[in-house]
Amino acid sequence: MVFKAERYDSGLELIVNDLKDKKEPLAYNVYTNEFEKLNLTIRQRFILNSKGLVKVDKRQYPGWSGSIDFYAYTCKVNGEKVTLLDYPHGYDERLSCKINIDKYKKK
């Protein structure tokens, strides 16, 4: 079962500030360190808004041996919601509200 770790680091504050400048709702892909538009169905949007996470699709990036489920999930940062996109990590399949701030600053 996938769960979301609620703690976040200050790097998410940078994402919130960058998202304020965008005209359309975007999610930050933690794996690629890029913003992308989410094409969610009405059902997926409802689940994301009510549960805070929803399975989006299966993805396979170059160098990966197979595909894996990707989830959109929300994290609260200073009262603002930011949507992240990532795959579950570790044996306990967690989605973290932490990002690699060094990679984000390089983008």
Instruction: Indicate the pTM of the whole model.
Output: 0.77
> What integer pLDDT is reported at residue 81 of this predicted model?
80
Task: Please give the full DSSP string across 42-78, using - where no structure is assigned.
Answer: HHHHHHHHHHSEEEEEEE--TT-SS-EEEEEEEEEET
How high does pLDDT run on average in the chain? 80
**Model confidence over 69-107: pLDDT tens digits?**
999 998 887 777 888 999 998 888 888 887 655 555 555
What is the CB neighbour count within 10 angstroms for residue 96?
Answer: 19
Q: How many domains does the chain have?
A: 1
Q: Residue 42 belongs to what domain range?
A: 3-106
